[in-house]
């Protein structure tokens, strides 16, 4: 029953009156049973009544002043009673004494839970105030949010890319820039600050991922430049003057690379691990003069093999998807945990999809090479910065579909064939907070276990912890294993 309904999910429904609208749009979606209540508002309503039913029972909820705020205990009871089933919902809005029935909709309550925690960077969506930001951690089973890092106490330096390996033995990192900065690397209860720049590589680590065992990191080193965009819809363009890939060994404090992913002929960026950890997927483009040729820069999907025993990039370089031949450019490839699919951002050109309104998510079947353009899931504006849950059954990303300016975390269920359902936004205790929080939710990241540090730990590491230097190991040298 659930799969049949998911297959039929589509665009926003028209309601009985054009004045009445549900915000956020939570109609006809698949939801995790352990998600916090999907609170919503109904415009122009004095009262609202919601009736929900399935094969197990019926539930009624009432809202005042157009606000539906679910009782959390009653919500959990309804979710647990609906596992693997579909709720049919009827919504009535009372407006100036008149009852208006909205069209029925449904929620498919999926038995696969979503990861308990979501981190994201709260940042102004404009280039003038990039230095006022924080990294937040949200408990998805409630509305509790706590701060992981706050650059107001680290000299207003840029902080970005809080990433988890999503393993049971969680390892995370974030980059703190500035004169006392470095990569804040947490494994177990140990927090380290690491300088990932060397005399033989092109700057410190930027975009990347940690291997499942927490030992290795695969990163871009890039010289990133922002410029104003002169197009009618553009705001800012960001490009790389140069970019290569580096491999970090956090246990041995070494950095290595390979001639196959280094040099001025090509630019490589956005690496990620395969599910088995034996390949690294990344984006690659022929180098062109920047910024004169930025609109002609298009990145294809490549992969290179990785020897985890030796801790060494291999010799098997493959073109996985030729996006240039389609007039497209790929960013942020992410592999599903079961190794069957790869999710990526696809734009018309370039390497900074969040500023491209045309950016969509595409799903690549790694066995067949088939591409799902995810028309049911994508919005009208900029869907990017995505991640899989640790189970692979949920994806989260930053979408600007609501107003073209502010990125917000959206979720969708991933079916076994890799197709995704209609998207829904992160529920809030007060949905109106989206209209008053004038910041973007940037780089959302799902993981199972609560982060072990907070902003004052990051401040301590930033200001007082000695920055560990990494040693560059030439690709001609064989690594010495201990």
The answer as to whether 471 is a domain residue is no
Q: Quick one: 400 and 434 in the same domain?
A: yes
Residue 85: domain span: 2-110
Question: What CATH number has the domain bearing residue 62?
Answer: 2.60.40
Q: Quick one: 215 and 296 in the same domain?
A: yes
The answer as to whether 190 is a domain residue is yes
- Is the CA virtual torsion 403, 409, 415, 416 positive or negative? positive
Which secondary structure element, helix H or strand E, spans residue 383, and what is its range? Answer: strand 383-388
| Overall number of domains in the chain | 2
Last residue of a domain, one of 110, 143, 161: 110
Q: Quick one: 99 and 125 in the same domain?
A: no
The answer as to whether 476 is a domain residue is no
Last residue of a domain, one of 70, 87, 110: 110
The answer as to whether 84 is a domain residue is yes
Q: Quick one: 103 and 122 in the same domain?
A: no
Q: Quick one: 170 and 316 in the same domain?
A: yes
The answer as to whether 475 is a domain residue is no
> What's the Cα-to-Cα distance from 51 to each of 40, 58, 97, 351, 393, rounded to whole Å?
14, 7, 19, 46, 28
Residue in 369, 385, 235, 231 with CA at minimum distance from that of residue 301: 369
Give pLDDT, residue 228.
57
Q: Quick one: 277 and 316 in the same domain?
A: yes
Which tokens hold the place of 458?
């990051």
Read off the pTM.
0.91
Q: Quick one: 155 and 104 in the same domain?
A: no
- Please identify every stretch of the chain with a pLDDT value under 70, giving residue numbers as ranges: 1-19, 126-131, 224-236, 239, 475-482
Q: Quick one: 190 and 286 in the same domain?
A: yes
Give pLDDT, residue 45.
87
Give pLDDT, residue 101.
87
The answer as to whether 480 is a domain residue is no
Give pLDDT, residue 157.
78
Which tokens hold the place of 140?
């998805």
Q: Quick one: 172 and 270 in the same domain?
A: yes
Q: Quick one: 188 and 223 in the same domain?
A: yes
Give pLDDT, residue 59.
96
The answer as to whether 16 is a domain residue is yes
Last residue of a domain, one of 54, 88, 110: 110
Q: Quick one: 151 and 292 in the same domain?
A: yes
Which tokens hold the place of 348?
């018309």
| DSSP symbols for 359-382 | -EEEEEETTT--EE--TTT--SS-
Give pLDDT, residue 224.
64
Question: What CATH number has the domain bearing residue 277?
Answer: 2.120.10.30
Q: Quick one: 366 and 455 in the same domain?
A: yes
Give pLDDT, residue 15.
41
Q: Counting Cβ atoms within 10 Å, is residue 126 exposed (0-12), middle (13-18) or buried (19+)?
A: exposed
Give pLDDT, residue 7.
43
Determine the Cα–Cα distance for residues 83 and 97; give it in Å rounded to an integer: 37
What residues have CB less than 8 Å from 368, skipping those under 6 apart? none
Give pLDDT, residue 481.
38
The answer as to whether 469 is a domain residue is no
């Amino acid at each position: 029953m659930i799969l049949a309904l998911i297959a039929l999910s589509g665009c926003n429904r028209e309601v009985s009156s054009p004045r009445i609208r549900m915000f956020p749009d939570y109609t006809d979606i698949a939801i995790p049973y352990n998600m916090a209540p999907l609170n919503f508002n109904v415009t122009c309503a004095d009262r609202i009544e919601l009736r929900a039913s399935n094969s197990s029972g019926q539930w009624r909820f009432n809202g005042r002043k157009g606000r539906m705020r679910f009782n959390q205990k009653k919500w959990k009871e309804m979710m647990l009673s609906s596992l693997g089933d579909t709720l049919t919902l009827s919504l009535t809005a009372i407006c100036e004494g008149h009852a208006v029935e909205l069209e029925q909709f449904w929620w498919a309550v999926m038995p696969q839970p979503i990861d308990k925690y979501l981190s994201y960077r709260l940042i102004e969506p404009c280039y003038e105030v990039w230095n006022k930001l924080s990294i937040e951690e949200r408990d998805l089973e409630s509305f509790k949010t706590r701060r992981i890092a706050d650059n107001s106490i680290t000299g207003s330096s840029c902080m970005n890319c809080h990433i988890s390996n999503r393993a049971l033995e969680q390892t995370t990192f974030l980059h703190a820039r500035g004169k006392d900065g470095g990569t804040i690397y947490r494994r177990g209860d140990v927090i380290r600050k690491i300088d990932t720049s060397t005399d033989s590589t092109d700057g410190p680590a930027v975009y990347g991922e940690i291997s499942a065992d927490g030992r290795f990191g695969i990163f871009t080193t890039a010289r990133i430049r922002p410029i104003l965009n002169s197009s009618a819809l553009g705001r800012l363009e960001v490009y790389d003057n140069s970019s290569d890939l580096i491999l970090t060994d956090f246990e041995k404090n070494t950095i290595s690379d390979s001639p196959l992913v280094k040099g001025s002929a090509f630019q490589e960026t956005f690496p990620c691990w395969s599910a088995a950890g034996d390949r690294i997927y990344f984006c690659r483009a022929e180098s062109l003069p920047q910024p004169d040729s930025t609109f002609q820069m298009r990145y294809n999907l490549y992969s290179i093999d990785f020897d985890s025993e030796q801790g060494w990039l291999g010799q098997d370089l493959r073109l996985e998807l030729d996006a240039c031949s389609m007039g497209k450019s790929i960013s942020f490839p992410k592999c599903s945990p079961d190794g069957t699919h790869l999710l990526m951002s696809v734009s018309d050109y370039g390497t900074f999809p969040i500023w491209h309104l045309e950016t969509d998510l595409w799903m690549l079947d790694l066995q067949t090479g088939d591409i799902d353009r995810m028309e049911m899931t994508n919005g009208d504006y900029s869907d990017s910065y995505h991640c899989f849950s640790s189970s692979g059954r949920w994806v989260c990303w930053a979408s600007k579909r609501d107003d073209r300016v502010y990125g917000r975390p959206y979720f969708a269920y991933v079916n076994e064939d890799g197709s995704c359902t209609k998207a829904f936004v992160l529920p809030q205790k007060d949905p109106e907070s989206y209209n008053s929080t004038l910041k973007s939710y940037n780089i959302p990241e799902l993981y199972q276990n609560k982060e072990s540090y907070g902003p004052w730990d990051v401040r301590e590491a930033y200001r007082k912890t000695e920055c560990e230097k990494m040693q560059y190991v030439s690709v001609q040298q064989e690594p010495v294993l201990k």
